[in-house]
Structure 1
Amino acid sequence: MTPRVGPATLAEAARERRDVVSGETREESALIRFVLAPDGTVTPDLARKLPGRGVWVAADRASVETAARKGHFARSARTKAKAPPDLADQVEMLLQRRVLDGLGLARRAGRLISGFEKVSAALTSGQAAWLIEAADGAPDGRRKIFAALRRSPRPVGLVGLFSSAELGLALGLENVIHTAFLAGRTADRWALEVQRLAGFRPLLPESWREEP
């Protein structure tokens, strides 16, 4: 059975929960669920499947760190809770893995394409919902693909989080630089994971802003 990445439906992601830090009610897709392990350790439950009462925190580093530091997990669960000092880092790592796993699943489903010519064509024809660029790709190639991105007749998301090696490992390919996620419900569900990850690390390298 193929592992599930993200909610099964967009309606599922739109269910609302209360963020224990701010007290605001938000859609599940904008939150991280945590549960307490038998020993009281706070455990991220990104797939929302672990048993036990969930504690929901906004999907950003500051909120998770605040929840851990100020005892929100214990107050919400009404029991002792041990939040690891690196809890936000754990969430970031798990979200990163889910985003990469989602790319691999999309490739096997035929919803992801790679290579400059194919990606450029998908962008200019309006078929692409996301452009995933290797963070360590050559600036010249990046400028050319960004030119195609600007010609897209529809808004296209941009991710530059991962190296060519990381993308290659996720996709089972070599020398992955330019990748496009084709528009559709699969891309919409994947976008929810990307949006959560964006709360923990920038989606684009700082150095890209310095390029001409």
Structure 2
Amino acid sequence: MPRDEAQDRAAAKAASRWRNARREPQRTCVATREVRSPDELIRFVASPDGVVTPDLKRKLPGRGVWVSARREAVEEAARRRLFARGLKAPVTVPEDLAAAIDVALVEDLRQGLALANKAGRVVTGFDTVVKTIVSKPIAALVHAAEAAEDGKRKIAQALRRRLGDAAERIPVVTELSGHDLDLALGRSHVIHAALVSGAGSRVFLERWGRLSVYRGSIAMAAAPLDPEEADADDTNPQDCERNV
């Protein structure tokens, strides 16, 4: 199903949180020659056997080369053999490099959901999600990729009854499969979930924003986060990770 404008805005704000999480010296993308924050790029290094390897956490040793965090930019860098030029060494570029990064970002998103769950911010099950919408502030809805449209529609209706037009500002994440949800949450047959506002929710949404940018769902130059929303959950995502 195509993303609507409201969901694009929600993903853009999640990506803005991700980009503004840290301030580091800017780098240049070898594919586009754009100068950007490291949070908007992916660092690559050469493995000991000369294979181009993504360094998503920017911790691997050795000379690095930077590419805009979009699939199309990674594919262009591979096609134009820019990795060897940037790394100043003969290297092998895996044919599935761009796809492998997508898989890694999905795994990162799944881990973010697990962190939110361990922080007590995730509820699951259709009835529980609807009840939570009525009683607590919702940071995001999560539906399995294969979830039926009828269930998603009914939950959206419950959210609209609660929030009115403001319901359109709540992110709806559909990038994880039911299997992914089961693994992240440690239970079986999860189709619908919701994140309540608080510790853990922000780190999940930041990772969702990064995946959305990589897939081209939203532009990298997204609108900045609204100040009021930036203050809505001022918990440091790393605090949540330290408690896991």
> 2-side partners of 1:177 and 1:110: how far apart?
18
> 1-side partners of 2:152 and 2:205: how far apart?
22
Structure with the higher helix share, 1 or 2: 2
Counterpart check, 1:160 vs 2:174:
yes
Q: Alpha-carbon deviation of 1:76?
A: 1.4
1:12–1:55 Cα change, 3 Å: farther
2:127 to 95, 117, 136: 117
> 2-side partners of 1:193 and 1:92: how far apart?
12
* Residues 118-142 of structure 1, C-alpha deviations (whole Å, 9 max, x = no match): 3234445672222110122232211
> 1-side partners of 2:135 and 2:58: how far apart?
36
RMSD: 2.4
| Equivalent position of 2:43 in the other structure | 33
Counterpart check, 1:81 vs 2:81:
no
Would the aligned equivalents of 2:116 and 2:204 in 1 still touch at CA under 8 Å? no
Equivalenced residues, count: 195
Amino acid at match of 2:201: A
1:30–1:188 Cα change, 3 Å: farther
Residue identity over aligned pairs, in percent, reads: 42
Counterpart check, 1:190 vs 2:200:
no
Under a length normalisation based on structure 2, what TM-score does the superposition of the two structures give?
A: 0.70
1:1-212 matches, within 5 Å, as: 12-15=21-24, 16-123=26-133, 127-150=137-160, 151-152=162-163, 153=166, 155-184=169-198, 186-201=200-215
- Relative contact order (alpha carbons < 8 A, sep ≥ 6): 1 or 2 greater? 2
Under a length normalisation based on structure 1, what TM-score does the superposition of the two structures give?
A: 0.80
Question: Which secondary structure state, in structure 2, belongs to the residue aligned with residue 49 of structure 1?
Answer: coil
Amino acid at match of 1:161: E
Unaligned runs of 5+ in 2: 1-17, 218-244
Unaligned runs of 5+ in 1: 1-8, 204-212
